[in-house]
Amino acid sequence: MDKNNSTQKNNPTELFGVFGNPVAHSLSPVMHNQAFACTGYNGVYLPFHVEKIEPAVMAIRTLGIRGISVTLPHKVGVMKYLDRLDPLAERIKAVNTIVNADGILIGCNTDCFGAVSALVQHTDIKGKDIAIIGAGGAARAIGWGIVDAGGKVTVVNRSAEKGEQLARDLSAGFVPLDKADELEADILVNTTPVGMHPGIDDMPVSKRIFRRGMLVMDIVYTPLKTEFLKQARAAGSRTIDGLTMFVLQGARQFELWTGLEAPVDVMREAVLEQLNSPNRIYYQEYSY
């Protein structure tokens, strides 16, 4: 163990956690506690079942909790109880991460970082035509990240009202879901829960949309190989599973909280082990 890790071990244990409802089967504790163990950071990460977000935020202040992940249904409601929002979280209008900076609670959004980081591992986003399926919280976060990276976004959604509103916010195009097959996007991202366990045979769009060379990402990771990704690969598209975004957004949280480099591979393996467990109870932290 190096000197930095030894110093961390001698410090008081720092408390972290996730606020949500439901939250009992969250994979974030497994991921973050393994990261703490790997880096020698003296921290512990716990799930907190939270029905009312205001007293939960008061508990962060009272107990001196260093950092919190925020999942459904609190990503929007938590914002008014924080001291500051980072510029991206303010634009997205959703917070999935709280950083306690010496008593100042700062709201951040790492969903955006996780999605964009997953994409840029495979391609340059700038100038690419990118279709986003869905118009909920995840679509908004990913859309802003893509716009900031120079990508050209088209929102695809069943509800024209919601889809057109998000498209206006992003200065993007809009295509109704029943016209999705006509798109010729370079990158296609599913941000809806369609295909998530138990509806594992469902797809958000027809397989006719896929073509060879297209890059296709699904943010669903239960199951890891969704029907959406299976059909995309069969058509010759390259694919990115939803676990990649989940781990990368978690890695960004870890770095914001600790100032240390996140052990991304270790975090991914910890989550994979849980996903592959025969006793796994399905629950995915999901923003929609």
Q: How far apart are CA 117 and CA 137, in angstroms?
A: 18
**Amino acid letter, residue 56:** A
Q: How far apart are CA 146 and CA 149, in angstroms?
A: 5
Where helices occur in 40-170 by DSSP H, the ranges are 53-63, 87-92, 111-120, 137-148, 160-170
Strands 104-108 and 97-101: antiparallel
Q: How far apart are CA 161 and CA 277, in angstroms?
A: 41
Q: Which residue among 52, 75, 162, 179 is the active-site one?
A: 75
Q: How far apart are CA 215 and CA 119, in angstroms?
A: 8
Residue the block writes with tokens 């008014």: 80
Q: How far apart are CA 62 and CA 273, in angstroms?
A: 35
Cβ(46)–Cβ(20) under 8 Å? no
Q: Which of 86, 126, 90, 97 is nearest to 19 (CA)?
A: 97
Q: How far apart are CA 187 and CA 84, in angstroms?
A: 34
Q: How far apart are CA 39 and CA 9, in angstroms?
A: 10
Residue 93 known to be catalytic: no
Residues annotated as part of the active site: 75
